[in-house]
Amino acid sequence: MKPIYPQPDLNPGIISGAVDLFFEKSGKNLKLINENPNAWSLDPNTSNVLTKLESNVVGILKPTYEEGKTYQWSWGPVYVDIVDARLIRLDQLTEEDAQRTGLEKTEKGYRHYCPKKLYPAEVLKNLKSGFPYMADARGSFFTRWIDKYDVLDVPLNPWIWRYELKFNINKSFNK
């Protein structure tokens, strides 16, 4: 069984029956798609098939975690059912989706997760505590994305997997 290893700050509390989200970069099997994401489009009849626009090549893409299957959460005897697994473009992330991923909210807005990667040290040393911050959850999510994958690929607008999952803390799982 393949365990799910999201970032620790994505789900601070696990409640049986709760539905949550996490996102995953489309990965090695989509390397070319992420390098030139605009050359591909999602087939309108499915959430897991991309078509290359330059030619009529169709690729069937399977998510790491498949819809309708149960996986073990990496924090112990917690199991999750994948309710939905689909490809979206990074810029299709909604404000509500970003808020559901457990972003840290501050007095002024949402946490900026990677200021050292995006601002020079001279600028950061003159900022007050708690700055910089992001005005909305989407912006904060993008900074966490950059921090997690150590790459500034947000402007490329890559394809990503959007997973919706349901926690089952009392479920027994037979291998």
User: Mind listing the pLDDT tens digit for each residue in 5-25?
Assistant: 655 455 545 565 566 667 777
Burial environment of residue 57 by CB neighbours within 10 A (0 to 12, 13 to 18, 19 or more): exposed
- What does the block give as tokens for 122? 């001279």
Three-state secondary-structure class, residue 109: coil
Please tell me the distance from the alpha carbon of residue 62 to that of residue 53, in angstroms, as a whole number: 20
Percentage with pLDDT > 70 across the chain: 72
Q: Which residues contact 99 (CB under 8 A, 6 or more apart)?
A: 137
Q: What is the mean pLDDT of residues 109-126?
A: 79
The 10s digit of each residue's pLDDT in 35-71 is 777 788 888 888 788 887 777 677 777 788 888 998 8
Give yes or no for a contact between 121 and 107, defined as CB atoms under 8 angstroms apart.
no
Give yes or no for a contact between 70 and 81, defined as CB atoms under 8 angstroms apart.
yes
Q: Which of 53-62, 117-126, 141-150, 151-160 has the highest mean pLDDT?
A: 141-150
The confidence score (pLDDT) of residue 128 equals 65
The confidence score (pLDDT) of residue 175 equals 46
Query: Would you place residue 95 in the very low, low, confident or very high pLDDT band (cuts 50, 70, 90)?
Result: very high
